Structure 1
Amino acid sequence: MSTALDQIPAPHGASSLTLVEQLVQWARRRIEERVFRSGMRMPSIRKLAQDKGVSRFTVVEAYERLVAQGYLESRRGSGFYVRERGGAQPSTAPAAAAQRPIDVVWLVRNTLNTGAPEKGPGLGYLPNAWLDGELMVSALRTLARQSGGQWLGAGTAQGFLPLRQQLQTRLEELEIGASPEQIVLTSGITQAIDLIARLYVQAGDAVIVGDPAWFQMFGRFAAQGARLVGMPYTPAGPDLDALEELVKTWRPKMLVINSVLQNPTGTSLSPAQAFRILRLAEEYDFVVVEDDIYCDLCPPSHPVTRLATLDQLGRVIYLGSFSKTLTGNLRVGFVACAPEVAQAIADQKVLIGMATPELNERLLYKILTEGHYRRYVERLRARLDGVRDQAARMLEQAGFSLFSMPASGMFLWADAGVDADAFAAAGQEAGFLLAPGSLFSPHQSPTTWMRFNVANCGDPALPGFLADYIEAQHRFARPLKGPAGVPI
């Protein structure tokens, strides 16, 4: 049987601390590491006492000390909440909420540090065991046999020309016409978004993003002073009636969207949806940024419609990358757009970081041209198909409701029916990295939704943890009743 000292990890050299002091330091670490974030409700006194194997009086004393130290605030009849740091009080004004900093650091940090993918159902990458390191090693060997003089140049603003020519061929297969002069290589999608934000967005401009959507771009647009406007999603894709109302109200400068296997819902655009988005963009004069990072995880037979295919890079800026299929560490992405836009993006790229590393670009070029990449991604898609239904059944049996059942891709968007932030904090304690839905909201709105990577749901302890947590939350949420059915 575990003791209280086993339950609460004490800091180094803290063996002489009392249980209250250990519990205070445990909570402070998690608040400072943003596992417990500003405004989040702390576990109830009864729940934390049970989880940590201590008395309720110990928890009460620890919480009171955390209130005195400025880490928590007590709300009568509601419980204890993480206090806004620096004395700032939450604002209820919509405009203020739109400008609130986006906090995704804890998930990104843990994504980079998680060594066991099966413990990371919230991760955004495929596990290393699924990837083909030999594909990269073979390309590196080929490069190593070439003359060293090729590595001595400074590179070019638009990137390695042979790779841009190869990308032209790949885009033609998607029926997107783009010359090498219309393609700019970047350090992944993240840098592409950064360059576009710097070029197009000024303080006060409205940018429409998915709600939910890829969280890392939110902070970049917010840093530029943009007003982030969330476009809701339905199981069939973006809610275009809602989008039209948002466009009329906000007159946005830009819409950013995944047309294929949207992160996190897994939905893809139909032809009718794509035509309607382009019609709105033309009528209300905004730029459409199409992030197609999951392109290679979508089978060619899957019925999807890309905006750039219809628009031919007139108003659409198309983004691509290989981080989801090769490795997140390769960091080679690209932008395809109108010639004058490509030149402006290349100029921005030079101003903030000069050329991107040509070694990475040459490596990717070899991988794409040596003839093995297509068969490799076919194997990845087949492997995802082999675990998707299993992961969906596991989540449903644990008590989740699925938003939709994607036919391809790596993500499932699932409703736990309980607070997702607290769920993620409990997962962290149990050794699982979960992705709460609040991170996928442009304003980090509280939610019960969570994103799961089907490739990382194989830990045998995961189903039991998920089911037990949901069942416990529902049990604690029910009012206790006496023999006569009167609430206690």
Structure 2
Amino acid sequence: MERSGTRIKAVMAEIRSRIASRIYMPGTRLPSVRAQARAMQLSVSTVLEAYERLAAEGIIASRRGSGFYVTGPAAPLALTEIGPRLDREVDPLWVSRQSLEANASVLKPGCGWLPPAWLYEAGMRRALRSLARADALELTEYATPLGHPGLRQYLSRRMAVSGIEAVPERILLTESGTQAIDLICRFLLEPGDTVLLDDPCYFNFHALLKAHRVQVIGVPYSPNGPDMEKFDAALREHSPRLYITNSGIHNPTGAALSPVTAHRLLKLADSSDLVIVEDDIFADFELSPAPRLAAFDGLARVIHIGSFSKTISASLRCGYIAARGDWIESLADLKIATSFGGGRLAADVALRALTDSGYRRHMETVRLRLAEAMDKTVARLKAIGIEPWLLPPAGMFLWCRLPHDMDAAAIARTCLADGVVLAPGNAFSQSLSARDFLRFNVSQSTDRRVFDVLARALASAQA
């Protein structure tokens, strides 16, 4: 009886999950009892009992001679119900929430940002004091549809240094880099479209794309960029609409796109309808700039985005999109439709901080501190048997393999109980092929307690 009850609950959970993820919308006819039984390799009587229980709860309804149908209204969108069920420790939303909700006593080597003391607080304070004396319009009015003209002019000059030709009229300011990608997805994607992601990649890409209900295909990432053979195969097999990547410092691996890979990638894209979204959020951490796809492409099929949350302040919500002119017009309309006017304050603070005489010196100091933290973190990890996948040329991330094929999610669970938040590899992997990897943020790994807790967790896992 107990096994039968478990099987009935499994059928009910499957149907509830499909309703919660909106695969089954109101009015959808469920698979017949026999079809569901074959799909789940269960008896017809088990599935029938599950359907009857769901009907008793009012979730589905039986129509004589026709079958069972989902009742309305549509379930609220539950992102955790979309795609395979993951252990919470490798769910992208869980990892983000653990990092964001942790109090000051918790160590966060798994988070993706600099410690507060490493950010440009002095420049922020100067910018805010200056803005307090500005014209009232800067403090009270909506921004123009494209956003602050001065900041767009600055970004145009800044991109030109990387070879990207984007006049201010082809730049749209957003509330963040995440909003930039969300607007692009709204503009170019329909539910069911296919998107390519690096495997591994920044885990919030996975979470955001779930909200757009698209199919995600992972392409293995190498030290020089995406695996070109696998990328070509994915283009041919899936006809994807978008590819989202980092060209500069890659998250989570710390790798950089090579010129050869960049040229091959764009050549493959030219033979398809693929649009590439290039996230350049880590540009100011580079010591030697990597190639930019937008520079090679001239913003024809590449959309270039970024923000300032990693270098100035995470509280400063300001990002941007650079794209072809007709797309910028449509994206500006979408921005108005979804958030109306952007804020003047954040853009004005960003411009004042970026053009402040101290910003260049600030970033020189940050790059030096990151290089020192990288060396120390690598040495401390090696001492407890953890090896980096590669030694990044710059940036804050180390992508590391655990010894003895250990389960990174289990290690993260153990360390969390001791006040250390880690980022397990499968949170970044669409194929769930990074089970024994962890991403370390070296700027958040300066406290020796991180390695003491981690060493105990490793020893416990081997015992």
TM-score normalised by the shorter chain: which range applies?
0.7 to 0.9
Aligned to 1:389: 375
The runs of 5 or more residues in structure 2 that have no matched partner are: 19-38, 41-80
Please, which of 375, 393, 396 is the counterpart of residue 410 of structure 1?
A: 396
Equivalent positions of 1:63-74 (< 5 A) are: none
Offset at residue 310 of structure 1 (A): 0.6
SS at match of 2:230: helix
Tell me how far apart the structure 1 counterparts of residues 210 and 119 of structure 2 sit (CA, whole Å): 34
Look up the equivalent residue of 2:407 and give its one-letter code.
D
| 1:458 alignment counterpart | 446
Could you say which residue in structure 2 is the equivalent of 1:362? 348
Match of 1:432 in 2: 420
Match of 1:376 among 338, 346, 362: 362
How far is 1:156 from its partner? 1.5
- What secondary structure is seen at the aligned counterpart in 2 of 1:119? coil
3-state SS of paired residue (2:453): helix
| Secondary structure of the structure 2 residue equivalent to 1:88 | helix
Give the aligned partner of residue 320 of structure 2: 334
Counterpart Cα distance in 2 of 1:277 and 1:463: 39
Q: Deviations over 1:266-302 (max 9, x none)?
A: 0111110100110111012200100011000112xx1
CA distance in 2, matches of 1:201, 1:412: 32
CA shift at 1:420, angstroms? 1.1
Normalised by the size of structure 2, how large is the TM-score? Answer: 0.80
Question: Which of 309, 315, 332 is matched with 2:301 structurally?
Answer: 315
Residues 317-342 of structure 1, C-alpha deviations (whole Å, 9 max, x = no match): 00111111111110111000100111
TM-score, with structure 1 as normaliser: 0.76
The equivalent of 1:88 in structure 2 is: 14
- Any idea what the Cα deviations from partners look like across 1:348-394, whole Å, max 9, x if unmatched? 11111112211000111111222221221111111101110110111
| Match among 330, 338, 342 for residue 352 of structure 1 | 338
Aligned residues: 393
Give me the whole-angstrom Cα distance separating, in 1, the residues matched to 2:274 and 2:133: 48
In 1, distance between residues paired with 2:11 and 2:433? 18
Determine if contact 1:270/1:303 at 8 Å carries over to the other structure. Answer: no
Q: How far is the alpha carbon of 1:464 from its aligned partner?
A: 2.2
Match of residue 156 from structure 1: 144
Q: Please tell me the root mean square deviation across aligned C-alpha atoms, in Å.
A: 2.6
Matching residue of 1:191 = 179
Contact 2:138 2:344 (8 Å CA) reproduced: no
CA contact (8 A) 1:289 1:318 kept: yes
Aligned residue number for residue 43 of structure 2: none
Equivalent residue for 1:169, pick from 144, 157, 163: 157
Letter of the 1:379 partner, please give it.
T
Query: What amino acid does structure 2 have at the position aligned with 1:392?
Result: V
Equivalent AA in structure 1 for residue 358 of structure 2: H
The answer (yes or no) to whether the contact 2:381–2:451 under 8 Å persists in 1 is yes
Could you say which residue in structure 2 is the equivalent of 1:484?
A: none
1:356 and 1:441 map into 2 onto residues whose CA distance is 33
Per-residue deviation, residues 249-269 of structure 1 (Å, max 9, x unmatched): 111101111011100000111
Q: Contact (CA 8 Å) 1:255, 1:289: kept in 2 or not?
A: yes
Q: Which residue of 1 aligns with 2:239?
A: 251
The aligned amino acid for 1:87 is A
> 1 CA distance for matches of 2:296 and 2:146?
25
Q: 1:421 to 1:339 in 2, by over 3 A?
A: same
2:200, 2:252 within 8 Å by CA — same for their partners in 1? yes
Where does residue 217 of structure 2 map in the other structure?
229
Equivalent residues of 2:223, 2:256 under 8 A apart: no
Secondary structure at the counterpart of residue 146 of structure 1: coil
| CA–CA distance in structure 2, aligned partners of residues 276 and 327 of structure 1 | 36
Change in Cα spacing, 1:400 to 1:150, as seen in structure 2 (3 Å) is closer
1:151 deviates by 2.8
Deviates more, 1:457-466 or 1:120-129: 457-466
After TM superposition, the structure 1 = structure 2 runs for residues 25-174 of structure 1, keeping only pairs within 5 Å, are 87-88=13-14, 99-100=83-84, 103-116=91-104, 119-174=107-162
Residue segments in structure 1 that go unaligned for 5+ positions in a row: 1-66, 75-82, 476-488
Q: Which residue of 1 aligns with 2:21?
A: none
Greater shift, 310-319 or 416-425, is seen at 416-425
Q: Secondary structure at the match of 1:461?
A: helix
Closer/same/farther in 2, CA of residues 393 and 115 from structure 1, 3 Å limit: same
Deviation at residue 100 of structure 1 after TM alignment: 4.0
Q: Report the CA distance shift for 1:205/1:169 in structure 2 as closer, same or farther (over 3 A).
A: same
**In 1: Cα distance, 2:356 partner to 2:126 partner:** 9
What pairs up with 1:19-30 in 2 under 5 angstroms?
Answer: none
Seen in structure 2, the aligned counterparts of structure 1 residues 101 and 177 have a Cα distance that, compared at 3 Å, is: farther
CA distance in 2, matches of 1:196, 1:101: 27
